Amino acid sequence: MCGIAGVFGNHAEQYDVEKMLHYISHRGESSYQAETNRASGFNFGTNRLAIVDENMGRQPFYSPDAKVQCVLNGEIYNHNELRKNLQKHYAFKSSCDSEVVLAGYLHFGEEIFELIQGMYAVAIYDSNKQTWYLARDHLGIKPLYYAFDEEHCLFSSELKSFYGLNIDVILDFPCGAVMKNRAFTRPGKNYRFNDENSGKWSDANAINVGIDKLKRAVSKMLPRKGEIAACMLSGGVDSSSILTLMRNLHEGPVVAYTFYNKDASSSDDYEAAKIICEHLDVPLRVVTPTHLQLTDFYKAKGVWMTETYEPALVRNAVSYHFLSQKISDDGFKFALSGEGADEVLGGYDYFELFPKNEIDLNIGYALNQLNHTYLKMTDRASMFATLEVRVPYLDEDWVAFNTELPGEFRIRNNENKWLLRNMMSRLMPDIIRNRPKLGMNQGAGFGSNDPGKSIYYKAISEYYKTSPDRMKADLKTISNYKENYQIDESNPEEVFNFCRYIEHGFTKLKGSENRPQLNTSTLISAITN
C-alpha cells in the first residue's frame, strides 16, 4: 500500500514528481518517502506503507534489463497463486505483490490486468514498446486520478498532487478500466443486480454459498499467522460479522476498535461493540475524542483530507480519521472494516421506499457510485493516518455472487441485508444480528447528520457568527460557481466546505459538480412527499 504519482511522456522530468508525492506524504511511512525513478518517457514514484517484505519492497519495481517499470498502490490478494505460475519465467527478488504485477506483465503482457484480483491502482511504463498503462480495480477501492497536457499524462492517488500545477482538468480514472497510451483498452465496470435467477437459489443454498464466499474474502485480507489483526467495529451487523469471521479464521490475536463520545448520555455503538466483543472474547479498544478536537480538525483539514465538499462525507471522514489514527498509533499498518455492505446487500432504509421493481436498480446505482462517496471517505480518512483499510464486502468474488442473487436475498419482508443477517444467525447474538443501521456520528453519540443537529454544523455556524466578514466573502466566492454547482447558501456547512474545496483547487476535477449524496436526498424527498 502506498501513494503513487508520476508522469508519462517526453521530458517527463520537467514535472516535479517529488513535490506531487510531498502533498500525499501521509500515504507512506516517513522512512519510505518519495521513492522515485525517471528516464526518457516516464517519471514516477511512491510514498510506501511497507506491509510485505519491507526491506526489498522499494518501488518502482523494474525488469532485469530496467526497460519496464511498475508502481502499485493497493493489495493483490491472489499474488501468491500468480507467483507460483510465474516462478519458472521470472527470478523474484522480493515477496511483494508489486513485483508479481511486473513479472506478470513481462510474461502475459496486458492480460495481467485480467488476472489480478484485489484493490489496486497500477502504472507501468514499457520503454521497449514506448507504451504506458494505467489500471484500477473493479470498484475503485483504491483511488487514481489523471490529467493531460499536450505531451504528458500525469497521475496520482489523490487530487492534492495536482495542486499548483498548470492543469485545467483532472479526471477520476474509471473503476475496472485499463488505459494504454491515452486510449482505454478495457472500459470502466458497472455492476448490475440480476433478478433473472429467482428460481436458481434456495435460501439454504444462498446462505451456505454466501458464508463460504465471505469467509474466503476475509481470509484473503488477514495478516500472517501469529500477527495481531485489527478490526474497525461499530457494533452493527456489518462490522460485527467481519469481526466474528476474523476471530474464527485468524491464527492469531484479534483486537477491535470503536469510536464514541464518552460525554454523551449514551452511545449505541459502544454498547453494542461491548456485547459482540464479550461474546467473541475479543479485546475492545476505544477512541474518545472531544467535540473540540473533532470540530477543530474539521474546520482546519476536513475538506483538504477528504477531497469533497459533501457535509455528510466530511463529517464521517473526520470521525473515521480519529479512529484510524488510534489504530495506526498502536502500530497497525492495516485494519479490516465493514465498509461497502450497505451498497452490496441493500442496507440503506431508503431502498425500501422504491417500487419493488426499482429497488435493485437503485442499489446498483449506490454500488457504482461508491468510489465517489464512502470508499473515497474511507480511503482518505484512513490514509491520512497512514493506515490501510481492507474491505471484505467489496471482494470481487463476493460482489459478483451477490449481483447474481434475486432481490429477495437483499430485502425481504421489510428486513434489509436479509442474506447477511441469516448467514450469521448461529454466529452472533440476535441483538447484534438484528440491530438497525445508524450513521457513524449518531451511533457514537456525536449527533445525527441532519443539519442543525450535527456538532460540525453547529461549530461552523458559530464560526461564521463570530466572523461575519468571512461569511460574506465566502458567499461572494460561491456566486461565481452558481451556474454549475448546487450549493445551499442557507446552509453554513455547505458554504464553508465548498469555499475550502475551491481554495484547494479541487474544482478542476471533472464531474465535481455532480453530487451523488445530494441526488439521493432529493430522490428520497420526491418519493416521500
Q: What is the 3-state secondary structure (H, E, C) of 54-93?
A: CCCCCCCEECCCCCEEEEEEEEECCHHHHHHHHCCCCCCC
Task: Give me the CATH code for the 203-528 domain, please.
Answer: 3.40.50.620
499 among known catalytic residues: no
CB 170 within 8 A of CB 159: yes
Give me the residue label for grid cell 458559530.
Answer: 462
Handedness of CA 146, 5, 179, 115 (dihedral sign): negative
Distance CA 88, CA 85 (A): 7
Q: Per residue in 480-513, pLDDT tens?
A: 998 999 999 999 999 999 999 999 999 999 999 9
pLDDT of residue 39: 78
97 marked among binding-site residues: yes
Distance CA 239, CA 490 (A): 36
Conformation bin of residue 186: beta by default, left when phi > 0, alpha when psi is -120 to 50: beta
Q: Per residue in 55-72, pLDDT tens?
A: 666 778 889 998 999 999
Q: Per residue in 436-485, pLDDT tens?
A: 887 777 777 787 777 677 899 999 999 999 999 999 999 999 999 989 99
pLDDT class for 529, splitting at 50, 70, 90? Answer: low
State the cell numbers at 101.
Answer: 504485477
337 marked among binding-site residues: yes
Q: What is the mean pLDDT of the chain?
A: 92
Q: Per residue in 396-426, pLDDT tens?
A: 999 999 999 999 999 999 899 999 999 999 9
pLDDT: which is higher, 36 or 327 = 327
6 marked among binding-site residues: no
Q: Per residue in 86-123, pLDDT tens?
A: 999 988 888 889 999 999 999 999 999 999 999 999 99
Distance CA 201, CA 185 (A): 35
What DSSP designation does 299 have? I
Q: What percent of the chain shows pLDDT beyond 70?
A: 93
State the cell numbers at 386.
Answer: 497512514
Q: Per residue in 299-327, pLDDT tens?
A: 999 999 999 999 999 999 999 999 999 99
Shortest CA distance to 238 belongs to which of 338, 320, 96? 338
Q: Per residue in 316-360, pLDDT tens?
A: 999 999 999 999 999 999 999 999 999 999 999 999 899 988 999
Q: Per residue in 192-230, pLDDT tens?
A: 998 666 668 999 999 999 999 999 999 999 999 999 999
At 280, the amino acid letter reads L
Residues of the chain with CATH 3.40.50.620: 203-528
Fold of 2-186: Glutamine Phosphoribosylpyrophosphate, subunit 1, domain 1 (3.60.20)
Mean pLDDT of 2-21: 90
Residues of the chain with CATH 3.60.20.10: 2-186
pLDDT of residue 528: 58
Q: What percent of the chain shows pLDDT beyond 90?
A: 79
pTM of the shown model: 0.95
Q: Per residue in 73-87, pLDDT tens?
A: 999 999 999 999 999
